[in-house]
A = this chain, B = another copy of it.
Amino acid sequence: MNRDAAAELAQRFLNGDLPLDALRAAFAGDQVADLADATVDLDRQRRCGYPEVIYAPGKPVDSLLRIVSELIVRDQDVLVTRLEPVQAQALVASFPDGTWKQQARTFRRMVGSSTQTAGRVAVITAGTSDLPVADEACETARWMRVEVVEISDVGVAGPHRLPRRLPEFVDADAIVVVAGMEGALPSVVGGFVDCPVIAVPTSVGYGANFGGVAALLSMLNSCAANVAVVNIDAGFKAGYLAGMIARKARTTD
């Protein structure tokens, strides 16, 4: 709602044409698109810096296409996460200029060229099984127009593998570390750098791993002060936070 619209409402209220409750409601929210089966938050780019991201599970294909179209016609960058192959194939068919990453389970479509990047994020994984989660983080950061570097398979069992990659991540604005099993890698990375580390526990492992809980607890209890944690397998959220930090670090207000 811009100033003019607000002024019109205020005037109608003073004229007695608009009850007080209606005025309250109008000020409370007006930036929503009510589709048949979803309420798309169109105000989010203004409010939060980025458009709404679409979480695919359970959404019928036609509903998904409708929501994506709605964003595209409003010139917003599109990111869809946790896609089933059948959903992804429908998106690619309808919007061939978008990018489907199968392992990451994401679909991304940028407005205009996506080359102008600001900030730099490193995404580091402990083992090769952590790659799908890491890829989701990477695609999310790219959607935010942030530069991404991936460093894989440098877990603590082979302790000489990480230091030799140090030059690649020591200057990042934010680092995502993805690890399962005992989840020790974020603490080790955190001790080497002066930027925030977003730790993502993965459900990789077996036995008393409890679907990622062992790694989650490990990361929450990290003795490194610069380690924050997101949910198990939450590659998207980690990429989003890292991208947001990198953008802030490189953007002149």
Which residues of A pack against B, CB within 8 Å? 3, 6-7, 10-11, 13-14, 20-21, 23-25, 27-32, 37-39, 41, 43-44, 47-50, 52-53, 57-59, 126-129, 152-161, 163-164, 166-167, 173, 181-184, 187-188, 190-196, 198, 203, 205-210, 212-234, 236-237, 240-241, 244-245, 248-249
Contact = CB atoms under 8 A, between A and B. Distances in A.
Nearest to A236: B225
Contacts of A27: 23-24, 27-28
A44 B220 contact: no
A128 B231 contact: no
Contact of A218 (B158, B161, B183, B190): B183
Given A223-B126, A236-B225, A191 B156 contact: yes
A20 B6 contact: yes
A4 B45 CA distance: 35
Given A223-B157, A228-B229, A208 B198 contact: no
